[in-house]
Amino acid sequence: MANNKTNNKSGVNIGKMLMQSWSRYSYVFVLLIILIVYAVTINAGGNNFNSRHITGILSSQNTVIVGTIAIGMALVIITGQIDLSVGSALVLCTGVTILVYNMTNGNVFLMILTALAAGLLCGLINGLLVGLAKMPPFIVTLGTMLIYRSLTLSFVREIDPAYTGSSSSQFSMLSDMASYDFLRMKFGTGSLKIGNIQLPYITFLFVALTIFFIFMMSKTKFGKSIYAVGSNEKTSHLTGISVQWVKVSVFVITGLLVGVASFIQACKIGNVTPASSGTSYEMYAIAAVVLGGVNMAGGRGKILGVFFGALSYTTINLIIVSIPQLSTDIQDTFQGIVLIAVIFIQTVGPVIREKFVELRKRAQNTDK
């Protein structure tokens, strides 16, 4: 009898622990489930799921470029705002970065500086309009989304192809520069081999950024103020936090990350097409953030989650690509369905759990 009781108790505890870790690390479980589906589809196609596929996930531009932007997007969303301009800003920044690279004879230092400065400027414009002028972020960044892209589109046609590096309305890195091989072949597309697994260099950059922002959000006072503003703006104000500057700063940080992403884009892809590159990246970044368990209402979310969210998002894409019967046109449909399903679990899950708790309480009461 006594044994029975303890068994019962430990069973409840394991269930509780699972429940807790699910709600705390749901983004890890989401990735695991998606990875399993990916492995199953690869095997069903007659291939073996192996480390090459993992490398593929880690080096995909959906991981490193969208993921880098998604970190910034997460900060913006945690403060309860949104930034729709990141895709366009990426195109603008990459264009300017490649232009400077081509014009300065392949000066890597100036190239990086340009990428960061252009990103910072794009973010600062959003930030000042939203934070200081107190305009709604949705509208402001919708506006700058249109502006940034159309600016890039219009000036790519005006500039001498000798500088843009291409005659087809595109910015392309000139391959005859001294630093080209290092940037493109080594850093942009190369990888480090550890045992059997190839780890792309750019992935290390993404991991380093993730670690830095995990530290910033959980171990610094600035990070806490970002959460505070998103959770309760009024209290934050009454606690002396400068709410408007926190809002400006998350947009500026997002801009800087877009700058980093544009440097990655230049090194990895080598070119950018203003008419088509980076379209819908803002939506992909938001998807990664949501898959990472960040609350769209603000105040809650982890950067580690965004890291996993970016990987999940990439994997979903790869699953669809790996099924030959599916055309790439249907890709967005599946992405949309998975996204809605994940959010559905996030929002409806707690409601169902509450109902269960209530039912159990009622049952206990009637027992008495």
Partner 1 sequence: MNNILEMRNITKAFGGVQALTNVHLEVAEGEIHALMGENGAGKSTLMNILTGVVPMDAGKIVFDKKTYVHPTIRQMEAAGIAFVHQEINVINDLMVYENIFLNREIQNKWHVLEKKRMIRETEELFERLGVKIDPMQMVSELKTSEKQLLEICRSLHANAKLLILDEPTTALSNEEISHLFGILKKMKQEGTSFIFISHKMPEIFEIADRYTVFRNGWFVSSGPISETTPQKMTTDMIGVEYAEKDVYHPRKLGDIVLRLNRLSGHGFSDVDLEVRKGEIVAFTGLAGCGASELMQTMFGVLPIENGFVEVAGKKINGRIYQFMRNRVAMLPSNRKENSVIPDMTILENMQIAEHRLSRKKPVIFRREEEKKYEELKEMLHIKAEDPDAPINSLSGGNQQKVFLAKWLNTDADVLLFDNPTQGVDVGAKAEIYQLILEFAEEGKTVLINTLEIPEIKKVSDRCVVFYEGRVAKVFEHEEIDEKTVMMYSTNAVKAAGGNKNGK
Q: CB nearer to partner 1: give 45 or 350.
A: 350
Q: Least separation, in Å, of the C-beta of 228 and partner 1? A: 5
Q: Least separation, in Å, of the C-beta of 274 and partner 1? A: 38
Q: CB nearer to partner 1: give 104 or 242.
A: 242
Q: Least separation, in Å, of the C-beta of 78 and partner 1? A: 9
Question: 12 to each of 9, 15, 18, 162, 195, how far by Cα in Å?
Answer: 5, 5, 10, 70, 41
Q: Give the footprint of partner 1 on this chain (CB under 8 A).
A: 219-222, 224-225, 227-228, 230-232, 234-242, 295, 299-300
Among 33, 29, 30, 48, smallest CA distance to 322 is for 48
How big is the CA angle at 214 (ends 21 and 123), to the nearest 5 degrees?
A: 125
Q: Least separation, in Å, of the C-beta of 300 and partner 1? A: 5
Q: CB nearer to partner 1: give 169 or 239.
A: 239
Question: 228 to each of 25, 200, 236, 300, how far by Cα in Å?
Answer: 21, 36, 6, 9
On whether the CB atoms of residues 301 and 293 are closer than 8 A, the answer is: yes
Question: What H or E segment, with its residue span, contains residue 153?
Answer: helix 137-158
Question: What H or E segment, with its residue span, contains residue 164?
Answer: helix 161-164
On whether the CB atoms of residues 258 and 122 are closer than 8 A, the answer is: yes
- How many residues are there in the chain? 368
Q: CB nearer to partner 1: give 1 or 238.
A: 238
On whether the CB atoms of residues 260 and 115 are closer than 8 A, the answer is: yes
Q: How many Cα neighbours within 13 Å face the side chain of 176?
A: 4
Q: CB nearer to partner 1: give 276 or 365.
A: 365
Q: Least separation, in Å, of the C-beta of 233 and partner 1? A: 10
Q: Least separation, in Å, of the C-beta of 207 and partner 1? A: 21
Q: CB nearer to partner 1: give 183 or 248.
A: 248
How big is the CA angle at 185 (ends 62 and 174), to the nearest 5 degrees?
A: 95
Q: CB nearer to partner 1: give 22 or 222.
A: 222
Q: Least separation, in Å, of the C-beta of 221 and partner 1? A: 4
